[in-house]
Amino acid sequence: MPVIVRVPTPLHRLTSGQGEVRCDGASVAAILEDLERQYPGVKERICDANGKLRRFVNVFVNDEDIRFLQADQTPVKDGDEVSIIPAIAGG
Amino acid sequence: MSYMLGLRCRECGRSYPKEVIFVCEYCFSSVEVEYDYDAIRKVLTREAIASRPKSLWRYRELLPIDGEPTVGLFSGFTPLVRAERLAGALGVDELYLKDDSVSHPTLSFKDRVVSVALTRAKELGFDTVACASTGNLANSVSALAARAGLSGYIFIPADLEQAKVVGSLIYKPTVVAVDGNYDEVNRLCAEIGAKFPWAFVNINIRPYYAEGSKTYGYEIAEQLGWRIPRHIVVPCAGGSLITKIAKAFRELVRLGLVEGRLPRLYAAQAQGCAPIVNTIRERGEIVRPVKPNTIAKSLAIGNPADGYFATSAVLDSGGWADSVSDEEIVLAMKLLAETEGIFTETAGGVTLGVAKKLIEEGRIPRDEPIVICITGNGYKTQEPILNRVGQTISIKANLASFETAFKQLVSNRLSNQEQACL
């Protein structure tokens, strides 16, 4: 069972309209690479020119912000959920 | 007549139509409303503003609506109080309190943003509004939605102060208490918002909502006789208010309504949740989220959406930032009440506590005009001070009983004074 990745609305056009897709990989970075392989163009939207996650993109593994874990080196296993959410709400 | 041109990405500058768009499709930054300032300059004069009702809508051309305002017609235009006694206690010459603790109808500055958000939500065709809230926003959305005839869904952390829960439920929205902190509520709402056709005021219609905070800044300038104060101390949670106060003063200067230097802005947070203060003090670019632990629950946002913009607003203004402990928050709440007769919530204690610290450290000079932003009301957050405000004196309903108690009171005071002299 692969990792479930929740994709934010602005990227649905790149994922054939799907809000949830399945990816393989042992870390968040590897998951993002696989996401790009399956849906070309996604990575340049969520990462900057240096390949770092953009500052307005938050990534959660099973509801925990990866900045509290090991950032993009956070390990993931089959069945985990990775959510990509714009840092937009609040107040 | 609309003066709103469209939306624009705050990071990469891409333009979007003025619809339900809250994030740049390309870089995920938030988008911001753009106005036709040349057209506004022709109509929005000091005289025109002075002739209008005393509400936030007197600056209507600078607010993101197409038609006439329909919600929150009595919100805004709260007092700017010259605080002589507090100034004496802090040792400063010219001190003002912008007092949104008496905002209509729900006693916090959130009435400003919600008035704008719900007016815009109606224009965009929504019949249901929602929010993720630390309490004040919940109260304001609940009340103003009731009056506007809109359905409301309110998402709050389960551990909120009771007055803030009751202060939402009374208006009969659907209140959902989420087992988690505000950041978790917020993240959940971002996902709910993607599935349900509601106007989440602080998510999918946030670009419009956030503009309401500018009126706090416009009012400070107008109430000072169209002057810009030198220093403004602002509480920070998500970081939107301080960012929009900065924008308000830039707009007023651009429109020729005020002249002079832009104010220095100071960010105030609680030590138990200070991600924006940390970033400012490190002059950093990246806002590191924290897990909040403070009595200032209305400021307990560990992952501030506008943290980056708030940091830039403060550093660009030449301002600074500091945080205070829960104990300092309580002492500041008491100081404000005892010197100025204003009972603010814990967030106001944070702001005053930080202002005091910055003055003592010499960051804010004692001889220049200072404004402290009081954004919420203490009647809503009584729990942290219940055991810190003294006790009543109990007597029987006769004069002798009072005279006995009074003698006791006087002798207690005398012995306290003697002890203080020793």
Per-residue pLDDT, A52: 87
Does A89 have pLDDT greater than 60? Answer: no
* Chain-centroid distance, C-alpha B414: 42
Name chain B contacts of A83, Cβ cutoff 8 Å. Answer: 187, 191
CA distance B268 to chain A (A): 15
**Collapsed DSSP state (helix, strand, coil) of residue B369:** coil
Q: Which residue in B11, B288, B305 is closest to A90 by CB distance?
A: B305
CA distance B89 to chain A (A): 32
Q: Which residues are CB-contacts of B187 (< 8 A; sequence separation ≥ 6)?
A: A58, A60, A63, A83, A85, A89
Name chain B contacts of A57, Cβ cutoff 8 Å. Answer: 28
Burial letters for B158-197: b for 16+ Cβ neighbours within 10 Å, e otherwise? Answer: eebbebbbebbeebebebbebeebbbbbbbbbbebbbeee
Q: Is the peptide bond before B105 cis (omega within 30 degrees of 0)?
A: yes
Tokens of B149: 């005839």
Q: Which residues are CB-contacts of B17 (< 8 A; sequence separation ≥ 6)?
A: B6, B7
B238–A6: do the CB atoms touch at under 8 Å? Answer: no
Hey, is the C-beta of B19 within 8 angstroms of any chain A C-beta? no
Q: Which domains does chain B have, with CATH numbers?
A: 80-106+211-385 (3.40.50.1100)
**A91 domain residue, yes or no:** no
A89–B189: do the CB atoms touch at under 8 Å? Answer: yes
**A29 domain residue, yes or no:** yes
List the strands of the sheet with A57-61, edge to edge: A20-23, A3-6, A81-86, A57-61, A64-65
Name chain B contacts of A85, Cβ cutoff 8 Å. Answer: 187, 190-191
Model pTM greater than 0.80?
Answer: yes
Hey, is the C-beta of B116 within 8 angstroms of any chain A C-beta? no
Residue with tokens 């090991």: A70
CA distance A21 to chain B (A): 15
H or E element at residue B8: strand B4-9
> Residue B297 gets which letter from DSSP?
G
> Residue B9 gets which letter from DSSP?
E
Dihedral angle computed from the Cα positions of residues B268, B270, B271 and B273, in that order, rounded to the nearest 10 degrees: -100
Residue with tokens 């709260």: B78
User: Which domain CATH number covers A53?
Assistant: 3.10.20.30
CA distance A9 to chain B (A): 7
Per-residue pLDDT, A90: 56
Please check whether residue A82 is in contact with residue A59, taking contact to mean a CB–CB distance below 8 angstroms.
Answer: yes
Number of domains in chain A: 1
B27–A89: do the CB atoms touch at under 8 Å? Answer: no
Residue-wise pLDDT tens for chain B (422 aa)?
799 999 999 989 999 999 999 989 888 889 999 999 999 999 999 999 999 999 999 999 999 999 999 999 999 999 999 999 999 999 999 999 999 999 999 999 999 999 999 999 999 999 999 999 989 999 999 999 999 999 999 999 999 989 999 999 999 999 999 999 998 898 899 889 888 999 999 999 999 999 999 999 999 999 999 999 999 999 999 999 999 999 999 999 999 999 999 999 999 999 999 999 999 999 988 899 999 999 999 999 999 999 999 999 999 999 999 999 999 999 999 999 999 999 999 999 999 999 999 999 999 999 999 999 999 999 999 999 999 999 999 999 999 999 999 999 999 999 888 887 76
Hey, is the C-beta of B186 within 8 angstroms of any chain A C-beta? yes
For B368-390, how does the pLDDT look when each residue is reduced to its tens digit (9 = 90+)? 999 999 999 999 999 999 999 99
Hey, is the C-beta of B278 within 8 angstroms of any chain A C-beta? no
Sign, CA dihedral A54-A59-A65-A69, equals: negative
Q: Which residue of B has its CA nearest to A9?
A: B194
Mean pLDDT, residues A39-58:
89
Q: Which domain does A56 fall in, by range?
A: 3-86
H or E element at residue B266: strand B264-270
> Residue B101 gets which letter from DSSP?
G
Does A88 have pLDDT greater than 80? Answer: no
Between strands B4-9 and B31-35, the pairing is antiparallel
Q: Which residue of B has its CA nearest to A48?
A: B27
Please check whether residue B278 is in contact with residue B361, taking contact to mean a CB–CB distance below 8 angstroms.
Answer: no
Name chain A contacts of B210, Cβ cutoff 8 Å. Answer: 91
ipTM of the complex: 0.81
From the list B171, B111, B104, the residue with the least C-alpha distance to B140 is: B111
**A15 domain residue, yes or no:** yes
**A22 domain residue, yes or no:** yes
Q: How many CA atoms are closer than 13 Å to the CA of A44, on its beta-carbon side? A: 4
Query: Taking chain A, what is the end-to-end CA distance rounded to the nearest angstrom?
Result: 37
- Chains A and B form CB pairs within 8 A to the count of 95
Distance (Å, rounded) from C-alpha B1 to C-alpha B217?
24
Q: Which residue in B113, B206, B286 is closest to A55 by CB distance?
A: B286
